[in-house]
């Protein structure tokens, strides 16, 4: 009798010869039974699905077409020209870190805003106070607290 051998394509054993394929002489293309099952358990099983491309999980987001085009326009203005997903990642990181600088106003628009605020202060101000007191209050209101003044200069 030959040793127990089994073909990698056939699991049926012949009762009379105790071998696969019914032959004991030629054993080419066959594996011993214990090795076959070890092969089957560890190597023959195929992984299902697409292989993971990164460690981070995928998050799906619905974006209106206008927002998607704005993100694309922002990405095109960047030096590294990120993809749409890369641009979304960068924008989220900047927003969460608070590094997106507020839009800088021109000197003309700042002056116009100050003039409008001054007119409203004059309109709503205490008319019983002296002119000097009203001017002092207006200056303090227009310049704002020190913390905000420092922020505006940056």
Task: Yes or no: say if 39 and 9 are a contact pair by the CB < 8 Å rule.
Answer: no
Q: Where are the domains of the chain?
A: 5-44, 65-97, 107-153
Residue 112 has φ and ψ, to the nearest 5°, of -65, -40
Alpha helices in 40-130 (DSSP H): 65-77, 84-97, 107-124
What would the pLDDT profile of 58-99 be if each residue is shown by its tens digit?
A: 888 899 999 999 999 999 999 999 999 999 999 999 888 876
Assessment of whether the complete model's pTM goes beyond 0.75: no
What would the pLDDT profile of 94-129 be if each residue is shown by its tens digit?
A: 888 876 666 777 888 888 988 999 899 888 888 888
């Amino acid at each position: 009798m030959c040793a127990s051998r089994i073909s990698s394509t056939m699991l049926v054993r012949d009762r009379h010869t105790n071998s696969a394929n019914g032959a004991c002489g030629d054993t080419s293309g066959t594996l011993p039974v214990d090795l076959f099952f070890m092969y089957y358990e560890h190597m023959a099983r195929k992984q299902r699905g697409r292989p993971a491309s990164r460690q981070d999980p995928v998050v799906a987001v619905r974006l209106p077409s206008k927002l998607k085009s704005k993100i694309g326009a922002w990405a095109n203005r960047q030096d590294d020209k990120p993809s749409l997903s890369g641009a979304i990642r960068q924008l989220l990181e900047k927003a969460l870190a608070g590094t997106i600088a507020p839009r800088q106003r021109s000197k003309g628009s700042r002056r116009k805003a100050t003039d409008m605020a001054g007119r409203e202060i004059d309109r709503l101000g205490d008319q019983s106070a002296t002119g000097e007191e009203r001017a002092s209050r207006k200056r303090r209101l227009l310049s704002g607290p020190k913390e905000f003044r420092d922020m505006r200069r940056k």
